[in-house]
Structure 1
C-alpha cells in the first residue's frame, strides 16, 4: 500500500530508502534493539558471585530488576547465574495466619456457639461485615517467594501477615441474606471496635 502511494507521487522507493539511510548515518540514528536482544552476558567476579548468592538466599530476596541494577548487568545475566551457576529454583511461600495464643483460644471458644446459632437457616438473621486496608505503598513488606536448591531438603518458608502499620485507606462493608451494603471509608484516626460498629451501624444501611 505504501509503495503504491509513493508511485502515485512519482517517487522511487529505492531512492527514498537511500536518502533515509544517508540521513540515518549522518545523524547517527541507532536502531532500537529487538526484544530479547541484550548482547553478551557480562561475567561477574568471584566476589560479586558470592554476594549475589547471599542476596538470593535471603528469606526476602530482592527482585531480579533490583539485582540487575545493583550489579550493573542485564536481568538475563542474574537469571543465568541463579539457574545455571547456583542451581537455585524459585518457590512460592505458603501464606499462614500470624495468630498468638490468646487469639487461638478465643476463636476456639467462639466457633461452636456460633455454629449453633447459624445452623438450620439461622444465618438469615445475621449480618457479616468486614474491613479491608488498601495500602498506598508496598515498601518494607515480605516477598512472596524465595530461592532454594531443589536437590537439598530444606524447611519450606512461610509468610505471615504484616504486623507493621503503613499508610492506607480502610474500607468497611457488610453483606447478609437481604443484600449488600454501601462502602464506608473509615477515617485514619478512627479506632475500630464494637463501639464504632454500633455507632455507624445505621450508616452502613444507607
Structure 2
C-alpha cells in the first residue's frame, strides 16, 4: 500500500491507476468527487421519483404499474423505471398468495384442534403420525406453454410441436402414506376401480398395516387419514 513520501509513480503502480489520476488527487487534496460533479440525473430525477411514488400509492399492483408500464408513463427506459422502484423507492414486487377462505368459527376450530394435537402428541410422538391420501393423475403429457420450446434453425414440423389433449383422458389413482420416518410404496389402483369403503379397507389391510409394523415395530403410532366420505364408513371405522 502507498505510504507518505512515496513518489507519484510508485503510488500509481501500487494502486494500479495512472500517474495523472494520482497528480489530480494530490492537487485537489482529496480523492472524493466534488459536489455536483458528473452527469446530472434526468430519468431518475426527483420529479420522476415523486411521480412514480404517487402512481404506486394509487395502485400498487404490477398489473397496473409494472416496470415497463411505469417506464411508458414516465417516458423513460424500463431499466431506469426498475432503478427508481428498487433503488430510489426501496420497493420489491411481492407475489400474491393463495389461501383457504376461513370464517372466524373455522379459524377458532382449527386453533382448538391444533392445541389438542399438541397436548396429545407431546414428547416427539408426532413423529409417529402416519398421513395418507390418494390422488387421481391424468395420463397426459405435461408442458409449460411459456417455457417448453424447441431449439431449431427453422420452424419445426407441427407434428413435432404438438401436445395432444383429450376430453376424457385416461387416469390412474394412486394411494400413499408418509411419516417422519419414511413413506409407503405407491399403491396404484386399477383403472375403472372406484375407491369405495371395501377397496379402501383392502388397501389399509394389505399395504398400510404391514408397512407400519416394519417401520414402528412395537412402538405406538397414529393413523391420520383425510376426510373423504368413504373413509368414515362403518366398515372402515370398525377396521381401524
| Structure of greater Rg | 2
TM interval, short-chain normalised: 0.3 to 0.5
Q: TM-score, normalised by structure 2?
A: 0.31
Q: Which has the higher contact order (CA 8 A, sep 6+)?
A: 1
Q: TM-score, normalised by structure 1?
A: 0.34
Q: Which has the higher strand share?
A: 1
